Structure 1
Amino acid sequence: MTLSPTRSTGATSVDEARRALGLRLREMRKRAGVTGRQLAESVSWPASKISKLENGRQTPTDEDIRVWAEATRAENEIEGLLASLHTLELQHAEWRRQLSSGLRQHQGEIADLDARTRLFRAFEPTVIPGLLQTAEYARARFAETVAVFRVPGGVDDAVRIRMQRQEMLYRSDKRFHFVLTEAALRYRLCPVEVMMAQLDRLVSLSTLRNVRLGIIGFPTRYVVAPAHGFWLLDQERVMVETFSAELNLAQPQEIELYGGIFEQLATAASYGGTARAIITRVLDDLAAELTDDGA
């Protein structure tokens, strides 16, 4: 099965929603009997902004919606347009906006979502999932976020909250199915000593009754390419993280698509003692590297 880059990132529904909103704005303008240039001049905007909004190449702000509706004498449509905009913002939550108040608040919001979810399914090709991270591995991930997005620190608080979230791994009313690639065990995203402790924790967590941990080894032939990581929360939502945003996908066809992809990837993974053997092999390689460096 081969997926196009756009389809595989789950961005299609977000783009469609943005274009649909743009079409509504265009219809309002045409009903008002004004050209794009005339509208731009009346609200002191560059003409290019009108084109970008109408063609779905730019997401409007709340104020943009109000100005547009007032300029096209369609104030009665403001409420509905704002509802569409806010739904779009939920689907495509930009990291800079989400993290503007710091790491701690965002981790708290995730904890609220955790409380409502009973079945967690996660595929990660590059990083260890947050619910399985050690404190030091998590600290390295949060430090990267601070550096990339230049957001308020709060790394210590974020690490503490992530560690608290992990308590639900021991709750009998929740189930977890994680699928990782061997690459995720080997990527150098933290010091070797930190990664070794992280892998040791994976071995321990793989023995929990309500945690199923699968590892896809390097020799495995993929039916579905490991294009990006994603989380399935019950049958309600798919979460996909990109460099710029968190996508929240809730359309039934999207959930069905990602559910099928997860099953394909999960079928390719090894579990139990075989999975632990892969992790142990990586641990041995890292230990040998430390020994060589010491020599």
Structure 2
Amino acid sequence: MTDHTASAPEPAAAHASAAPQPDWPALLQSGTGPVQAAFRRLVESTTHYLGYSPNIVWGNLQTLPYAKEVLRLVVDLHGIPRDVEAGAAERVARAQYIGSGGRTYHVLLGEQTLLTGIGGPEVMRPQLERLHDTLSWPGLTLGIIPARARLAVYPGDGFGIHDETRVEVEGFRGGETITDHRVELFHRAFELLQQSAVYGDEARALITQALQHT
């Protein structure tokens, strides 16, 4: 999953422009391991990424316990094979690409991401500490949209833009791969969301505040 939301596994993956539309019923029934492995290959082949996650930590930055809890929720919702260990291992493996091979990532998280109760305090505290550390990672620009920030666009679903030409969107319905004229709409949405985000010390303060209340 993106990622971006907690509601469905991510789509399968050859690189953007040549990739076929995912067969969601088949992907869901294959379990989290194969789906997450396919998405990791997409991440590996992506050079420049823009992402927005309103209420759950972006998949590339998830700790292993957090990823397991998220995928358990997915499995329970969709009734798919319960291979959570395999899926979580593939998901956290994405972190290896941050700062490598000239890849760049610009990710926006909603402040709700810091507050959503995935797995309880014993899971959330290490996850928040991980986010705190990632603010200094090379190749990663991490912004947080404060809950009370004035928005220039409605929040919408989480999404990821891969190399400017492919968008992955997720929700309870499953996922959608977009490679047509609508890609530009998501670029515009990202630019508008970015206007409300804070970075650096301001983002760090929001994470610290969330840690103090977890």
* Aligned-partner Cα distance in 1 for 2:117–2:62: 15
SS class of match (2:29): coil
Per-residue CA distance 1:4-49 (angstroms, 9 max, x = gap): xxxxxxxxxxxxxxxxxxxxxxxxxxxxxxxxxxxxxxxxxxxxxx
* Aligned-partner Cα distance in 1 for 2:139–2:95: 13
| Moved beyond 4 Å, runs of 4+ | none
Match of 1:266 among 189, 194, 205: 194
Partner in structure 1 of residue 144 of structure 2: 215
**What's the % identity of the aligned pairs?**
30
Match of 1:179 among 101, 108, 111: 108
Greater RCO, CA 8 A, separation 6+? 2
Per-residue CA distance 1:101-145 (angstroms, 9 max, x = gap): 221111111122112210111101111111010001000011111
The one-letter code matched in structure 2 to 1:270 is V
From the two aligned structures, give the one with the greater helix fraction: 1
Stretches of structure 2 that go unaligned for 5 or more consecutive residues are: 1-17
* 2:185 is equivalent to residue 240 of structure 1: no
**C-alpha RMSD of matched pairs (Å):** 1.5
Larger Cα-atom Rg: 1
* 2:117 is equivalent to residue 188 of structure 1: yes
Question: Are 1:126 and 1:187, in contact at CA under 8 Å, matched by a contact in 2?
Answer: yes
Aligned residues: 196
Q: TM-score, normalised by structure 2?
A: 0.87
Question: Are 2:29 and 2:81, in contact at CA under 8 Å, matched by a contact in 1?
Answer: yes
Stretches of structure 1 that go unaligned for 5 or more consecutive residues are: 1-86, 287-295
Match of 2:39 among 84, 97, 110: 110
Per-residue CA distance 1:230-280 (angstroms, 9 max, x = gap): 1111111111012122110111x2111110110111121000111000110
* 2:18 is equivalent to residue 90 of structure 1: no
Equivalent positions of 1:1-295 (< 5 A) are 90=21, 93-94=23-24, 96-251=25-180, 253-286=181-214
SS class of match (1:281): helix
Q: How far does residue 172 in structure 1 lie from its aligned partner after superposition?
A: 4.2
* Aligned-partner Cα distance in 1 for 2:168–2:30: 21
